[in-house]
Amino acid sequence: MERKLAAIIAGDIAGYSRLMAEDEAATYAELRSVFDDVIKPSVEHHGGRIFKSAGDGFLAAFPSVNEALDAAIGIQLGFAERPFNLRLGINLGDVIEHDGDMFGDGVNVASRLEAMAEPGSIFVSAAVVRSADRGRGDLFHRIGLRQAKNIPEQLEVYAVRLDGAGAHGLRRLTRALHRSRGAVAFAIFLSVLLLVIAASQVPGLKTMTETIADRVTWLTGVGDMDRRPSVAVLPFDNMSGDTGQNYFADGLTEDIITELARNPELQVIARNSTFALRGEAADIREVGQKLDAGYIVEGSARRVGDQLRVVAQLIDTRSGAHLWSRSYDRRVEDVFAVQTELTTEIVSHLVSYVRESEVADASRRPTENLQAYDLVLKARDRYKHGSKDSEALLAARALYHRALELDPGYALARAHLGMTYIIDMTQGVSGRATMADVETGLSEARQAIRLDPTLAIGYQVLSFGLAVSGDYSGAIQAARRAVEFNPNDPDSLMALAKAQVRFGNYREAVSNAERARRLHPMAPEYYTYVHGQALYAAGRLDEADSVIGECLIRAPQDADCLLIRTALLAGRGDVAEAQVAMARLVRAKPEFSLASERDYRRFGDSPLMDRFLQELARAKAPETAARSGLIERENA
C-alpha cells in the first residue's frame, strides 16, 4: 500500500435509473459512448487515471489540481450535446493506493462533493481552490459550508464557473492589455483576439491561447496582479538589555511570520528577506518598496526573569500611517498566547475576516514545555540554513536533541532536527555525513508529521530528503503538502516548482517560482536559477534568457545558471557563444558531465530532456567528469 497526495474527481450521471427504465438499450449505448468518447479521453489527456467505474459513476486520480480541473471542465463541456446531466466533485487529499484502487478521505470527500453538486456542475473543496493556479481565482464561486454524510467537520464548498472556464486565457489577456495602453499591446490584442475566442470553444487550442496570454503579459510588462495584502514582519528589537536574549526576540519574530504565513488571504514576505534589513535606518516607505510589501509589522520584546513585554505595530508603507499598535504584558509561559493574539489582530486588520479554524490552529501550543521551546529558539539562532559552519550545525543538532529529551512529542523540533541531517549530507557541512544521515533525517520528518499532520516544515524536510534519495514522485507529493499548509513559504514553493519541472508541469512551475521570488525578494541565486529553468522548460525562452542574465550579472560563476544559459544559446543556434558558456561552466564545476546530466534527469523522461542533452552536446559538453578535469588543467 502506498499513501500519497492526489486530486480526485468523482462523477455520476443524474437521473440515470429513470433513463434506463425508459429505454435501457439506448441509454446503455449512450453511456458507453460518453465514457469512451468524452470521459476517458479527457482524463487521460490531462494525465489522470480512472481507477474505478461502476454503472453510471466513475472515480479518477490526477497528480495535479489544475489538470483535474481542466479534465472536469472538458468533460462537462463534452456533455453539453449529450442527453445526460453529469455531476462532478473534485478534492485534493491523502489517498491510499492498493492494487490499482484508491481509498481514504481524499476519495470520500470528492464523492460527497459530487453528491452535493447540481446536475451539470462541478463542486470542489477549499483545498482545490487553494492549490489551483493563482490566475484561476475567478473560476470559483463560493457555495459555503456544507455538512457531508459521515464526515464530522463541515466542508467549505466552491462551484466552478463553467461559463467562464473557456475564456480563462482571454480574461488574462484583456486584464494585461487593460493595464498597458500602448500601441504595441493594442496591435497584439487585435492579432490574437479571434484566435483566443475560437480556442475558448475548441479544447485543443487551450494550451496555445494560454501561451499567447503568457507572452502578451510579458511583452506588456504586466503580470496577473495578486491582490492579497502583502505584509513583512521586521526583526523585533531586543529591549532586555542583554544581548544574550537576541535569540528570543528573533525566534518570536520568526514564529509570528510562520503563523501569519499560514493564512492564504495574505502574502507574507520571507524571514530571510526581512532579516536582511536588520539595522538599516530607512524610511518605512523605502522598506516597503524594497520588500514589495504594502504593510510592515515592527515591534520589540523584553524578557526579564519570567516576565515578558511585547510591543507591536502595523504600518501602511504607502502612507506611513500606523494602523494598529498593541502592548502585551504577560508571563513568559504565555508566549504562545501572545503570538496567537498578535497574529489574529494583524490578520483581522488586513483581511475581512479570520477563519475560526485558523484561530484554533494558531492557538495550539507546539509544546507544553517552555524550556524545550527555548532550546529550539536557540538552535534556530545557532545555525542558519545555507551556512557551512559545521560547529554551528552540530551545536544546533545537540540543542534539538535536548529539546526532544524534554518533550519527545515536539513535532517542530523533530522536523528541524531532521533537516540538520539532510543538509549535512547534501551540502557537506561536516564532511562526515552519508546517505544513512539522510535516512535519519527522513525518519525524524515522518515522526514530526505523525505528531502534527499539518506541520508544513515537516513536509518540506520530507520533500527535501526524498529528492536527495531519488524518490522524486514522493518528493513532489510532500512539496505539495508543504505548500498547502503554508502557502507563503518560498522554500516550499521553490522546491515544488523544481519538482514540477521534472514532471512536466511547466506552467505551474513558472507560477510557483514567480510567487516564491515575490515572497523572498532577497533570495539566493538558486531561486533565480529555478525560475529561469522553469521558463526555459515552458518554452518562454526570451524571458528565461532575461532571468538567467540577472543571475549571471550577480553571480557570474553560478554553475546552474551557466547550464541553462548554455542550453538557451545552443537552442537558438548561437553555438560559438554556447561553447564559451560551457567552458565557463566546466571551470566553475569541474565534475560536470553529460553522463551526470543523463543520470540526474532534471527534466524527467520528457522530450525536453532529450533536446536539452542535444543542446549541451552541441556546446561541446564533456561526456565524463574526467574530461572536465582535463579541460580545466589545459585552461589553467
Beta strands in 173-306 (DSSP E): 230-233, 237-238, 267-268, 295-304
Low-confidence winner among 65-79, 152-166, 239-253 (lowest mean pLDDT): 152-166
Query: Do 147 and 172 lie in a common domain?
Result: no
Query: Do 255 and 159 lie in a common domain?
Result: no
CATH number for the domain harbouring residue 440: 1.25.40.10
Low-confidence winner among 103-117, 268-282, 349-363, 382-396 (lowest mean pLDDT): 349-363
Q: What is the pTM of this model?
A: 0.56
Query: Do 310 and 407 lie in a common domain?
Result: no
Strand partners, 303: 308
Query: Do 277 and 264 lie in a common domain?
Result: yes
pLDDT of residue 139: 85
Cβ contact 69:160 at 8 Å: yes
**N- to C-terminal Cα separation, the chain:** 55
Q: Which of 154, 102, 94 is nearest to 449 (CA)?
A: 94
Residue 423 pLDDT > 80: yes
Cβ contact 168:133 at 8 Å: no
Confidence of residue 501 (pLDDT cuts 50, 70, 90): very high
What are the φ/ψ torsions at residue 343 (nearest 5 degrees)? -65, -35
Query: Do 330 and 428 lie in a common domain?
Result: no
d(CA 444, CA 511): 31
> Does residue 438 belong to any structural domain of this protein?
yes
Overall average pLDDT of the 25-31 stretch:
85
Return the higher-pLDDT residue of 103 and 630.
103
Overall average pLDDT of the 522-526 stretch:
85
Say which amino acid occupies 373: Y
Query: Do 254 and 336 lie in a common domain?
Result: yes
Q: Given 486, 507, 538, which residue is the final one in a domain? A: 486
Query: Do 68 and 200 lie in a common domain?
Result: no
Give per-residue pLDDT as tens, 215-265: 444 444 444 445 577 888 899 888 887 888 888 888 888 888 887 787 777
Query: What percent of the chain shows pLDDT beyond 90?
Result: 36
Residues in the chain: 636
Residue 502: CB partners within 8 Å, gap ≥ 6? 472, 476, 601, 602, 603, 604
Residue 448 pLDDT > 80: yes
Confidence of residue 281 (pLDDT cuts 50, 70, 90): low
Query: Do 41 and 71 lie in a common domain?
Result: yes
Q: Given 315, 340, 365, which residue is the final one in a domain? A: 365
> Does residue 556 belong to any structural domain of this protein?
no
What are the φ/ψ torsions at residue 11 (nearest 5 degrees)? -130, 150
> Does residue 561 belong to any structural domain of this protein?
no
d(CA 452, CA 569): 47
- Contacts for 16-25 with beta carbons within 8 Å, 24 or more apart? 16/55, 16/56, 16/84, 19/83, 19/84
If you average pLDDT over every residue of the chain, what do you get?
81
> Does residue 493 belong to any structural domain of this protein?
no
Query: Do 478 and 373 lie in a common domain?
Result: yes
What are the φ/ψ torsions at residue 328 (nearest 5 degrees)? -125, 120
Alpha helices in 301-352 (DSSP H): 335-350
> Does residue 56 belong to any structural domain of this protein?
yes
Query: Do 357 and 377 lie in a common domain?
Result: no
Confidence of residue 186 (pLDDT cuts 50, 70, 90): very low
> Does residue 64 belong to any structural domain of this protein?
yes
Low-confidence winner among 20-34, 423-437, 575-589 (lowest mean pLDDT): 20-34
d(CA 430, CA 10): 50
CATH number for the domain harbouring residue 248: 3.40.50.10610
Confidence of residue 84 (pLDDT cuts 50, 70, 90): confident
How many distinct structural domains can be found in the chain? 4
Confidence of residue 135 (pLDDT cuts 50, 70, 90): low
Return the higher-pLDDT residue of 364 and 519.
519
> Does residue 247 belong to any structural domain of this protein?
yes
Low-confidence winner among 102-111, 333-342, 418-427, 453-462 (lowest mean pLDDT): 333-342
d(CA 557, CA 220): 31
Cβ contact 68:122 at 8 Å: no
Query: Do 322 and 341 lie in a common domain?
Result: yes
Question: Domain residues for 180?
Answer: 168-220
Q: Given 486, 504, 528, which residue is the final one in a domain? A: 486
Return the higher-pLDDT residue of 1 and 551.
551
CATH number for the domain harbouring residue 28: 3.30.70.1230
pLDDT of residue 291: 86
Query: Do 196 and 235 lie in a common domain?
Result: no
Say which amino acid occupies 459: Y
> Does residue 389 belong to any structural domain of this protein?
yes
What are the φ/ψ torsions at residue 93 (nearest 5 degrees)? -170, 180
Give per-residue pLDDT as tens, 601-633: 899 889 999 999 999 999 999 999 854 343 343
